[in-house]
């Protein structure tokens, strides 16, 4: 079972988000921090735009040959002593991980940050089987304590302020002294580290995601800033990698090319603090590492996107730059989108994975400002793909009836220039007369979504085309 989407209630979610002062305060930081850091990092690298082109081309190449690379990757994992499990759906993926855990009598699983594990609802599946899943990324740890989903794909707790975190730690860590000083972020971090350390040591299984899977070597790569991913995969006796099938890259060299755009686009770092490569289980000469190494390769809707108008979405390397630069995300935050993936990438991916009937608002709730596309490290044409969802909705008559009839009426006139000029002359004449004193309308029945909060400028009077004709000018 994947997480239950509230995407159909996007408007209500957004309404609540806009009224949530704590959330709005936290979002204030997103509006600039990520953006300035990315711009600075990209600006320092003269070849950054060329690297984006290469990254796009590489991802396209992989998607065009995905079957070949997946099989090559599988062979290398097997050769290095690991196991590969193929999961068509979220349910299959969860069953594979739960069975692995149950068969080994596992009680506790330490998890590195993984969006695909959120997508498939892995934590809930493990809990149902009586297995404790512990999130070890600081942000994920915080939201797990709060029973929340991530609100951002690389900064899961970005919707929270420091005081929210302090309050949560005081609520949950009741065994610690009540008078401890948690005012500095470092104190919060130290407390989380101390609490997590014991959990790492107790974990029977470590689950991580993968930023990249390297076909050449059978290696999975994760990038983190806290080192929690390393501990999750090295300390427990079993390491399970959960990854969606499009994470493949052909070679280590290719992975390094993508790493050069990933961190810069995400956090503005040249590189994340930790870039960790795992290939198979611990070898005889290794001083540490897991005894078993498993990879669960998850489709869950990806193969349906291949060859469709949404294939370009599979280029995504999950940097979060699109949401960091999105005015709609800035306004409502990630939870409003109602499922795992927020922002522009979520507006394209979510309908692909849970259905446009449930997620139809997401590709519509965009101004098409294009800022997401302008920063995407793999140049996904996100507005174009959102528009393709609107086309699917239109074809399936899923668009709201009012919008359809409004559009239909407009289209009727737009295709009949003579009638259009007559109708608009009359309409603008009347509207202009009504609004002539103030030059604006404080309310208009057909545009209340606008006039509730903004005035609507009145037309000047006669249309341009009518005046042009009256002046006897050239048509």
Between residue 259 and residue 288, which ones bind another protein under the rule CB under 8 A?
Answer: none
Q: What angle do CA 325, 326, 329 make, to 5 degrees?
A: 125
Site for another protein in 430-449 (CB under 8 A): 436-440, 442, 447-449
Using CB under 8 A, pick the residue from 394, 405, 409, 430 that binds another protein.
394
Determine phi and psi for 384, rounding to 5 degrees.
-60, -40
Query: In degrees rounded to 5, what are phi and psi of residue 293?
Result: -135, 120
Out of 189, 273, 407, 426, which residue is the one contacting another protein (CB under 8 A)?
407
Helix (H, G, I), strand (E, B) or coil at 210: coil
* Cα gap 20→160, rounded to integer Å: 11
Number of residues that bind another protein (CB under 8 A): 74
Is residue 369 at the binding interface for another protein, with CB under 8 A as the rule? Answer: yes
Q: How far is the CB of 337 from another protein (least distance, A)?
A: 12
Residue 366 contacts another protein per CB under 8 A: yes
Instruction: Enter the tokens of residue 177.
Output: 């002294």
Closest distance of CB 269 from another protein, Å: 23
395 contributes a contact to another protein by CB under 8 A: yes
In the stretch 304-333, what mask flags binding to another protein with x, by CB under 8 A?
Answer: -----------------------xx-xxx-
6/4 Cα distance (integer angstroms): 7
Q: Is 88 in the site for another protein (CB under 8 A)?
A: no
251 vs 405, beta carbon nearer another protein:
405
319 and 280 Cβ atoms separated by less than 8 Å? no
Position 8 contacts another protein (CB under 8 A): no
Give which of 432, 411, 430 is closest to 420, Cα–Cα: 411
Of positions 1, 277, 411, 426, contacts another protein by CB under 8 A: 411
Tell me whether residue 32 or residue 180 sits nearer to another protein (CB atom): 32
Q: What is the largest CA-CA distance in the chain?
A: 92
Backbone angles phi, psi at 259, to 5 degrees: -60, -30
**CB neighbour class for 43 (10 Å; exposed up to 12, middle 13-18, buried from 19):** exposed
Q: Which is nearer to another protein, 318 or 462 (CB)?
A: 462
Candidates 64-72, 96-104, 192-200, 383-391 — which segment interacts with another protein by CB under 8 A? 383-391
Q: What minimum distance in Å lies between the beta carbon of 65 and another protein?
A: 24
| 456 contributes a contact to another protein by CB under 8 A | yes
Provide the token pair at 201. Answer: 């040591």
Provide the 8-state DSSP code for 245: G
């Amino acid at each position: 079972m994947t997480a239950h989407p509230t995407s159909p209630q996007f408007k209500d979610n957004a309404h609540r988000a806009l009224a949530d002062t704590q959330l709005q305060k936290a979002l204030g930081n997103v509006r600039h921090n990520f953006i300035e850091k990315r711009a600075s990092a990209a600006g320092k690298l003269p070849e950054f735009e060329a690297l984006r082109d290469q990254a796009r081309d590489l991802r396209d190449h992989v998607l065009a040959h995905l079957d070949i690379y997946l099989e090559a990757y599988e062979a290398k994992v097997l050769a290095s002593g690991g196991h590969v499990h193929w999961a068509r759906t979220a349910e299959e993926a969860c069953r594979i991980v739960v069975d692995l855990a149950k068969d080994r009598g596992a009680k506790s699983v330490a998890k590195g940050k993984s969006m695909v594990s959120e997508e498939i609802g892995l934590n809930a599946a493990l809990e149902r089987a009586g297995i404790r899943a512990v999130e070890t990324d600081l942000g994920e740890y915080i939201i797990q304590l709060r029973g929340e989903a991530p609100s951002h794909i690389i900064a899961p707790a970005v919707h929270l302020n420091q005081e929210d975190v302090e309050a949560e730690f005081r609520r949950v860590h009741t065994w610690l002294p009540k008078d401890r000083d948690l005012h500095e972020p470092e104190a919060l971090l130290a407390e989380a580290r101390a609490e997590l350390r014991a959990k790492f040591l107790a974990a029977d299984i470590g689950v991580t995601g993968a930023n990249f899977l390297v076909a050449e070597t059978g290696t999975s790569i994760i990038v983190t800033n806290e080192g929690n991913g390393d501990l999750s995969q090295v300390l427990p006796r079993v390491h399970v990698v959960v990854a969606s099938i499009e994470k493949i890259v052909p070679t280590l060299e290719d992975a390094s090319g993508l790493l050069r755009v990933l961190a810069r686009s995400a956090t503005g770092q040249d590189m994340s603090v930790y870039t960790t490569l795992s290939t198979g289980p611990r070898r005889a000469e290794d001083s540490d590492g897991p005894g078993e190494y498993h990879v669960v390769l998850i489709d869950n809707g990806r193969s349906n996107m291949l060859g469709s108008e949404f294939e370009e979405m599979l280029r995504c390397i999950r940097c979060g730059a699109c949401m960091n630069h999105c005015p709609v995300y800035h306004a409502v935050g990630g939870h409003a989108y109602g499922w795992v993936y927020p922002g522009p990438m979520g507006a394209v991916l979510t309908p692909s994975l849970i259905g446009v009937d449930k997620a139809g608002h997401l590709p519509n709730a965009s101004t098409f400002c294009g800022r997401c596309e302008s920063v995407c490290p793999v140049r996904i044409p996100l507005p174009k793909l959102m528009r393709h969802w609107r086309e699917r909705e239109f074809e399936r008559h899923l668009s709201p009836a009012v919008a359809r009839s409004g559009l239909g009426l407009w289209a009727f006139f737009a295709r009949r220039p003579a009638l259009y000029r007559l109708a608009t002359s009359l309409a603008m004449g009347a509207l202009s007369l009504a609004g002539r004193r103030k030059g604006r309308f404080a309310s208009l029945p057909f545009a209340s979504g606008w006039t509730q909060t903004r005035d609507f400028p009145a037309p000047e009077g006669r249309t341009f085309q009518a005046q042009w004709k009256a002046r006897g000018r050239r048509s």
